[in-house]
Copies of this chain bind each other. A is one copy, B any other.
């Protein structure tokens, strides 16, 4: 059995009944499970976490668009988070028994179906991107819904699928494939913010650190400590344990100890298995030795 995760972000976080209806539309699709969903009223945005195989997930995203288009109107939508459309972003994420290439194909098929059925222009992003200039979500979303009609007049911003102008109420959507994101923080036993900031600068990609780390140093003022707050964007290539070991070593250079670390939200089991493998110096350990993995493979 393949497991693909899908994390649609929708532009509604203030009307619980509308969000519930979106979730229900997805739950009505056999073979798709809703693992989690949460709404942020100040962002006026909700994030859903789904899992399933390719065909049911595609059907679920089409059901989500149908429901979202009936209930969300970007012309009257306001919130702190940047957004381009009613169903703003839809990443497909390979978890188990499935390749990134298959998730890219799923993203493309889903984008095509969304454009054809609903007349919403769709941009492909990240691994599914067909154009290096619009691989990053931030670049595609710049200008937001309000600037979209102007932006799309530029032929460079012709969508991958659908009409060359925004959908009147639903804007445009960004659909793609990416690795799982791990929100990972390391708390230091110090109140010295400069230490957290220097360590963050040392390990993040943008200033010379690991390829798949975004990091910043912040103060946890109520606790009197500081934190290296991170997103790990590819745990296979930049694994948790390596980040932990380097942060520990860099902290020691300032005479500071790691107090604890934390994983926020969901994490693929493989990221933790790789961590155990590293610290136990496991020899020739295979993922199908994990009982639960074998269980899924036997389905």
Interface residues of A (CB under 8 A from B): 3, 5, 33-36, 51, 95-96, 180, 187, 240-241, 244, 258-263, 265-269, 272-273, 275-277, 279-285, 289-296, 298-299
Q: Are B272 and A284 in contact (CB under 8 A)?
A: no
Closest 10 CB pairs of A and B: A275-B276, A260-B283, A272-B276, A279-B279, A33-B298, A266-B291, A262-B283, A260-B281, A35-B294, A269-B292
Known pairs A276-B272, A276-B275, A299-B33; A294 contacts B266 (CB<8 A):
yes
Q: Are A95 and B261 in contact (CB under 8 A)?
A: no
* Least CB separation from A265: chain B residue: B289
Q: Are B292 and A95 in contact (CB under 8 A)?
A: yes
Q: For A296, what are the chain B residues with a Cβ–Cβ distance below 8 Å?
A: 292
Q: Once bound together, how far apart are the Cα atoms of A277 and B36, in whole Å?
A: 22
* Least CB separation from A33: chain B residue: B298
Known pairs A241-B280, A279-B241, A283-B187; A290 contacts B269 (CB<8 A):
yes
Q: Are B267 and A290 in contact (CB under 8 A)?
A: yes
* Least CB separation from A248: chain B residue: B281
14 additional A-B pairs beyond A262-B285, A266-B294, A292-B296, beta carbons within 8 Å, are A3-B295, A5-B291, A35-B295, A51-B295, A187-B283, A260-B283, A261-B280, A263-B285, A265-B289, A268-B291, A269-B273, A269-B291, A272-B290, A279-B279
Known pairs A33-B295, A35-B295, A299-B33; A282 contacts B269 (CB<8 A):
no
Q: Once bound together, how far apart are the Cα atoms of A262 and B272, in whole Å?
A: 17
Known pairs A276-B275, A279-B279, A292-B269; A298 contacts B96 (CB<8 A):
no
* Best-surrounded residue of A36, A272, A285 (most CB of chain B within 10 A): A272
18 A-B pairs with CB atoms under 8 Å apart are A3-B292, A33-B295, A36-B294, A51-B298, A187-B283, A240-B276, A244-B279, A260-B281, A261-B280, A266-B289, A267-B289, A268-B291, A269-B272, A269-B290, A272-B273, A276-B276, A292-B293, A292-B296
Q: For A244, what are the chain B residues with a Cβ–Cβ distance below 8 Å?
A: 279-280
Q: Once bound together, how far apart are the Cα atoms of A90 and B130, in whole Å?
A: 56
A262 touches which of B273, B284, B295 (Cβ 8 Å): B284
A263 touches which of B180, B261, B282 (Cβ 8 Å): B282
Q: Are A282 and B262 in contact (CB under 8 A)?
A: yes
Q: For A95, what are the chain B residues with a Cβ–Cβ distance below 8 Å?
A: 291-292
* Best-surrounded residue of A180, A280, A285, A299 (most CB of chain B within 10 A): A280
Q: How far is the CB of A275 from chain B (nearest CB, A)?
A: 4
